[in-house]
Structure 1
């Protein structure tokens, strides 16, 4: 299968994410994070915090938990309806900026819809993305050092934890944004426990490395759960030709692969769901959210 991206895949993803960013001379906003899911990553500047959706935690159990994973523990932002068990489970996978306020709020939105939502900090062994103000260092020292196999093991551990803490593992799903969107596709090819997945503008192909030996296009035919891909037609980092190659590969794959589909919003850029950024497009984000919940319900994750 041909590799069409350059070696600077992560750099291109980031540039697409920050398309609306002013010139390099604009000072970065200083961010202090006291706990997982609080504040915004400095490298994501400019932040439009005043426009960000604020989902209250009233009636929810929400906050950081520690999940055992491979002889250690990883921090996970958990949100769920208070006092309920037998909940459908959704794993919420972050962009390259880690589990900051936007991802925590997204988890609370799922909790308000009746889910046990877990947003794991998958960069924890490599560093704290929120402590980086320089994007090149964030990519080189953290993002590019995370092994896909490690991510899959951590997500497996999160599902085990969910099953022991009020979740119904017969109703499990995953969703992710940007970097997390790519991991969503990979985890749908890895885990037989999943019933459905929704990938938001995750990269589909690129350079292979020892830590990232395959990309979603390489594993399209192996999907164990159907994936809904939500992508932007104006995304400068993920060309429509890449989406078309993925669609062709899915059509030749497993039953779950053949049941997968894409929705492309013609005028939406990368990160159109990120309500804390200038890339946010309300109409596409709201339609995508409704489609995400409908996709989960259609496949029994409700």
Structure 2
């Protein structure tokens, strides 16, 4: 399979018709392909997430990373956009769901789309991935260390996020969870609570917790990066999407 691709900035309509900037990477082949929505972390729409988007394209997927902070203004830097959103305690959940729905519709409008959509998110994007998977009909979801799914943020936290465990009965697709044993948000105890609830509900899921890894162990540009966990985690991601997003 050729890994030739096109990558660049695009735009599409998100929640309530708002125009979102986004980064698209897609193969140049004419093979039917699934789509992947990459949800960026709380620090915002950055180069590492564009690199992740290209990585999916190199594996045969059309992938898009929407800038969920686009409403902060076209002439505002990504760092300043992120700072403004953090100052407000994060994004409204319904807005995120609407924006990802727009991203999924955009991917399905592209030539050679096979109609299958996966979502993957990191940090706050992991929480938002679970939210999306419980709010939209998608085909596969990957939660990379998403906090505040089971418990609320600490009382002294600036974030206004609410737990999502009550939405678990609405999980629409298989869920892959990748976590660090040394993480605090979510802690291994919280991961177990979520797994137990999904077991009780009969929801398809597979969770993996890596030793000697904490939060953001996929982030190659941060001191939290843990190569062994990240390499193994990427294998799990591609195996999972390969099962659920392929055309065969």
Q: How many residues align?
A: 236
Q: Tell me, yes or no, if structure 1 residue 139 matches structure 2 residue 86.
A: yes
Matches within 5 A, 1:54-203: 59-69=4-14, 70-84=16-30, 86-126=32-72, 130-132=78-80, 139-141=86-88, 144-166=89-111, 168-192=113-137, 194-203=138-147
Shift of 1:237: 2.6
Task: State the partner residue of 2:171.
Answer: 223
Maintained 8 Å contact 1:232/1:267: yes
Q: CA deviation at 1:293?
A: 0.7
Residue-by-residue CA offset, 1:28-61 (whole Å, 9 max, x unaligned): xxxxxxxxxxxxxxxxxxxxxxxxxxxxxx8211
Distance 1:269 1:247, change over 3 A: same
- Matches of 2:28 and 2:178, distance apart in 1: 30
After TM superposition, the score normalised by the length of structure 2 is: 0.87
What RMSD over aligned residues (CA atoms) do the two structures have, in Å? 2.4
Shift of 1:292: 0.5
Alignment of 1:3-22 (within 5 A): none
What are the Cα deviations for residues 229-257 of structure 1, in whole angstroms up to 9, with x where unaligned?
A: 0000011332111111101110122x5x2
Report the secondary structure of 2:182's partner residue. Answer: coil
Which structure would you say has the larger Rg? Answer: 1
Please name the residue that 1:243 is paired with: 191
Distance 1:206 1:222, change over 3 A: same
CA–CA distance in structure 1, aligned partners of residues 101 and 68 of structure 2: 12
Provide the C-alpha distance between the structure 2 equivalents of 1:133 and 1:214, rounded to a whole number of angstroms: 22
TM-score (ref. length: structure 1): 0.72
Unpaired stretches in structure 2, ≥5 consecutive residues: 154-158
2: CA distance, partners of 1:279 / 1:123 = 24
Q: Report what 2:237 is aligned to.
A: 292
The answer to whether the 8 Å contact 2:217/2:225 transfers is yes
**Higher relative contact order (Cα pairs below 8 Å, separated by 6+ residues):** 1
Conservation of the 8 A alpha-carbon contact between 1:126 and 1:145: no
Q: Which runs of 5+ in 1 are unaligned?
A: 1-57
SS at match of 2:225: coil
Kept after mapping to 1: 8 A contact 2:90/2:161: no
Report the Cα offset of residue 169 of structure 1: 5.0
Q: CA deviation at 1:167?
A: 5.2
Q: What CA distance in whole angstroms lies between the structure 1 residues aligned with 2:25 and 2:245?
A: 20
CA contact (8 A) 1:87 1:166 kept: no
